[in-house]
Amino acid sequence: MRIALAATLGASVLVLSGCATAPRLPKETGPKTFVLEEALAGPSIARGEIRTITGVNRPFTAKLNGTWDGENFVLQEDFLFDDGEKDKKTWRLKRVGEGLYEGAREDVVGVAKGFQDGAAFRLEYDIRLPKKDGTPGRKVRFRDVMVLTSDDVVINNATIGYFGFRVGGVNLKITPEKAPS
């Protein structure tokens, strides 16, 4: 009986830890290291989608603009979802050490933690999802991984977790806007 219980608990821990893991590096990862204040500086366009295990699939486009003052990185995000909804968010990330960042955004609960991970940049944070009436709803965990492709496109893949279970994800490609010639 004890052996069966221990085996069941061990299998449960493995399953739960697998569900809550951070996203892997995308296959499109290029030879360059992702440096936050360089890769997302200036204007860019993001195209992506949010997917959940409940069947939600919300494609969107976002206009981004990043600025760096030597210590703080600010990323303004203007979202337009394919269903017509608009949203605006602003990331404020402060460098707190070599390759380490802490920050906030309007919907982030607590402090977001960003860190260099080899060629990738990882950002982990909790947000409170709004209910249909706009009031605060469930708190979920985002784990983003960002990499640069060989053609300077940023790939951002994120997992969304709820109590250790993977309940969704966000995938997007961020392309720098070209200056008019």
Give the pLDDT confidence score for residue 43 in this predicted structure. 97
Domains of the chain from N-terminus onward: 2-176 (2.40.128.20)
Where helices occur in 31-172 by DSSP H, the ranges are 36-39
What are the tens digits of pLDDT across the range 72-95? Answer: 999 999 999 999 999 999 999 999
pLDDT band at 23 (very low <50, low <70, confident <90, very high): low
Whole-angstrom Cα distance, residue 52 to residue 75? 25
Higher-pLDDT residue of 181 and 135 is 135
